Structure formats: structure tokens, C-alpha cells
Amino acid sequence: MVVLVTGAGGQLGQSLQFIAPNYPAIQFAFCDSSTLDITNLNNVKQLFKQFKPTFCINAAAYTAVDKAESEPEKAHLINVVGAKNLAVVCKECDTILLHISTDFVFDGTKNSPYTEEDIPNPTGVYGQTKLDGEKAIQETWEKHFIIRTSWVYSQFGNNFMKTMLRLASERDKLTVVNDQIGTPTNAVDLAEVLVNIIQSPITNNPSPNLFGIYNFSNEGQCSWYDFAKKIFEVNQISINLIPIPTSGFPTPAKRPAYSVLDKSKIKKGFGVEIKDWEESLRSL
């Protein structure tokens, strides 16, 4: 079994590389943007011809939420055109596509966990391009799993946890918003779930209704302030942490006020057991 991974240099791509030695039955082909430019259809076809993947995990994305507001064309190129290119070539090669999406497809006005059936309503360029990427895949190739996730962090790449740890080494006081509620997701847990889906007997003998959109994050919920507080607690860092409202930290892109994801579908469909976010943070 060959699994081609795009975006190998990002934190999910690095997390997949981290766990890959535990799965010797899978031949992973890790491609970063210098090897595989998903916005170039011919490049995608060339790599698929070379590796002949059974599955493709698309971990490549434009994820600079605020920067996307001033670079909409670039975000669209990677998140929409790139996603469609992969779907087109996956269809040509009968490759099952696992595509990573985001809680930013929602506006955050709900006050109970979002299900896969809830109507998306993105409030910024990043969320809109991720939603448009989902639609491009759905319209192109039926054999897909779209995994919506949230607040991804890990020991790899750039993320909130690493930013907090860096800032704590430079300052004795920090302010963090406390009125945006969601769930941190350990990228290694996300990587394990993707491999779980790939190795599942039902995936390898699928019915058409198996494919589609699934939510995955760790369990529980918190604010960014709560997340930061726990990061410092786990790392035994003493710092003056001050909660502030979103209005006290204006950003170019609007964030969902509430983006907790309901994971019932993925737990039922694939027998996935999901760690609480605090437990998973302590495991790093």
C-alpha cells in the first residue's frame, strides 16, 4: 500500500513522518512543496505516475488566516485549485483522497458542537477557500474523506503552543483571548486517525456512503486563554497570563467565537477512540 502525503513539511506532514515507522506495511511517499506543487496539475500527474498511490493525504494548505485577507489569490490557488488538481488526478488513478479542512468553514455563532450536517458560513478568506476546496473535491471525485479539524498544534512546525512557549521565554506577562471557544487538536492524534481510516477494513471494501465529511479534534473544549494556561502548567512555566476579550486583540480575519466539533460520526464509523485535549497535551 502506497500513501502519498502532500505538505510533508507542515506540522501534520511532519507528524505523519513521526508515526510512519510504526506502520511498516504502509509505504509512505512524503512530498513537500518543492517536490510536489499541488497547484501544478502536470506536476501532480507526474508524481502520481511515479508513486502509484492507493491513498493520498492532502496535508498541503495555505493556513495563514490573517495574511489570507490580503493574499486571497494565493490562498485560493493552494486551497481550491490545488485541492481540485489532487481530486482530478486521484480520480484518474482511482486513488482515495483524504483532505484536511477546518472549523473556519463555520461562522461560530452556534453554541453546541458543529456536526457534519451543519451549514458552513465562513467569515473570512481562509475559511471560504477551504470550503471552496471541499466543494471542488466533492464535485470531482466521490472517493474522498474530508476531515475538518481545529486548533492544530504539535512539536512540529508553527502553532499556538510553540508561539506561547517562545513568548514566555521573552516576556513575563502575556494577554490571551478568553471568549473564543474550541478544541485543541494534537497533530499526532490527527495523523493516527488518518492512518486508522486508511487501514480500516471498511475503507478497503467501501460502500459509497462511507465517503464524505468527518469531524476530528481532541475531546473537550476550552478558550485560547485556557489552552495557554494549560500549556504553561504542563511545562512548569510561571508567567502572568491575562485574559482579554477578542475586541482587545483585533485581527484582519474574524475568528469563530465557538467552533467545537461533534466527533460522533468518525467515532461510530471507524471505532476511533479520542483523547481529551488536556491528556493529549500532557503526552508531548
Exposure string (b/e) for 178-214, b if CB count within 10 Å is 16 or more?
bbbbbbbbbbbbbbbbbbebbbbeebeeeeeeebebb
The CA dihedral of 241, 246, 248, 249, to the nearest 10 degrees, is 80
Task: Write out the three cell numbers for 215.
Answer: 469531524
Task: Write out the three cell numbers for 80.
Answer: 481550491
Which residue is it, cell 464509523? Answer: 269
Listed residue (249, 175, 187, 210) closest to 18, CA to CA = 187
How far is residue 258's CA from residue 37's CA, in Å, rounded to a whole number?
A: 33
**Which entry of 114, 126, 214, 225 is annotated as an active-site residue?**
126
Strand partners, 261: 114
Distances (CA, A) of 157 to 33, 79, 123, 187, 243: 15, 19, 26, 10, 26
> At a CB cut-off of 8 Å and minimum separation 6, what does 238 contact?
232
Q: DSSP label at 114?
A: B
**CA atoms in the 13 A half-sphere facing the CB of 125:** 19
Q: Which helix (H) or strand (E) holds 91?
A: helix 82-93
Task: Write out the three cell numbers for 258.
Answer: 465557538
- Are residues 161 and 282 in contact, defined by beta-carbon separation less than 8 angstroms? no
> Catalytic: 23?
no
Residue numbers annotated as active site: 126
